[in-house]
Structure 1
Amino acid sequence: MSIGAGGIRPCALAFGADQLYNPSNPENKRMLQSFFNWYYASVGLSLMVSITVIVYIQDAAGWVIGFGVPAGLMFLSTVMFLLGSPLYIKLMPDKSLFTSFAQVMVAAWQNKHLALPPMESDPGIWYYHKGSRLIAPTQKLRFLNKACMIGNPEKDIDMDGRATNPWNLCTVKQVEELKALIKVLPIWSSGIIIAVSISQHSFPVLQARVMDRHLIPGGLKIPAGSFGVFAMITLTIWVATYDQIIVPLLSKFTKRSRGFSLKERMGMGLAISCVATAVAAMVESKRRA
């Protein structure tokens, strides 16, 4: 199961975005952001089914049938995915980003003796492929700019205009890709702490086990493992409400198509998560008192 999930989860979102990616469409950015919202809404819906219907089957019919039903559904989804293969947009794989990042770091170190030019310098000193929109590196993390700096054109560039040694000279695009990764690391690392605090999947189960889970006296009893559905319902409703109602209203005031920027939304999400975790801690301490 871990191997299967590891193969699907990192690729599903990116593969879906490939089907909609069209830089020539002015609405492409809005479509992609809407797709991401609805993707997570659909994930929430599927999780609701899994922690209600599937958990109920496991409790009522046993683990053999409980695992057999998801296996059958997964087989059906695999068949449907393969049947749609001729219709998919399949982008050719590029070279490994990890290799590119390593090349930039090695090249920057090997070219550490080069003096960086002034900010308003001739773009001809930077190495980039023909047709690239990035012809000069940004001024942030300037120490990495030496990786794409042409020190000796006769030695560094061959007759075709290519770098003779990609571990000694990288393109401006490669340098900017590594910079983008480095700039994301603080946001990514802050998300780890929040994920640790809110991903307490056993907590609602432990709470539910000591509760009266009957919908009506003597009637249907909700399995303790299904109590996570309330969080999924909240997430699904909120994503749909935000995308269809709140965003159009916010865009009128912020003059931006998506209302708040990505950084603003992430910041508000982290703040709300902190408040929610603090409230949960206070409620639990009061309950145990």
Structure 2
Amino acid sequence: MENTIAEEKMILIAKDKDRKKGGLRTMPFFIVNMAFERVASYGLMPNMMFYLMNNYRLETENGSTILFLWSAMSNGLSIFGAFLSDSFMGRYLVISLGSFCSLLGMILLWLTAMIPQLQPPPCDRFTDTCSSATADRMAVLFFSFGLISIGAGCIRPCSIAFSADQLHNEENPNNESVLQSFFNWYYAAKGLSTIIAFTVIVYIQDNLSWKVGFAVPAILMFLSALMFLVGSSQYVKVKASSSLFTGFVQVVVQEQKAQSISQ
């Protein structure tokens, strides 16, 4: 009897703590995380073709293929990120993982512009010949692209769902005004971050250098990850549910049982 009462008290204390978490006060943390990640990742795309052609001496066809695969992987991994958050890790851990991967990828991309040994050797002035990048140097570049894609695939599908977890209120389920205020700010920040990525970041790359043009997105991604982690203690962290594959297998088994019974 005493154990039952103690367990009930623990449950009530846990629920009381959850009520004190979430809400509009957490809105700046994940909106900044989303906006800065978008500025950082989107700002790399417009001029990346020129970087591949001028610094890595790739042909236009090869550069276009690489950028197409990079974009496709970033969008396709959103399915993996959503599955990972819903079935195994939860949205908070997946967004944290994505922020770390994006930051690491952008730092690695910045290093390709900073360290000459990561790019093709300089052209021979006497023979006027230029050699392309070796396989190991291209591997570093591709690895940075892959990390950025993993980060985008983890952050983008979970960001708005994670924010909905913070604004869900069991005592007041019809809080339309709060949700409307959040979505207004969310999509305004989303649109503004895209504009900044395609203007300010591109301008920096065009008029300063690749070193500065890649350093700025890396710094923004660092601030994005830092801002998200700063608000960790205030978040409502919904645990992952059972695996989607488990539910699918259960449905198939039940259908087979029903068919065997009908026969």
Shorter-chain TM-score tier = 0.3 to 0.5
For the pair shown, which has the larger CA radius of gyration, 1 or 2?
1
Task: Give the number of the structure whose residues are more often helix, by fraction.
Answer: 2
| TM-score normalised by the chain length of structure 2 | 0.40
Relative contact order, higher structure (CA 8 A, sep 6+): 2
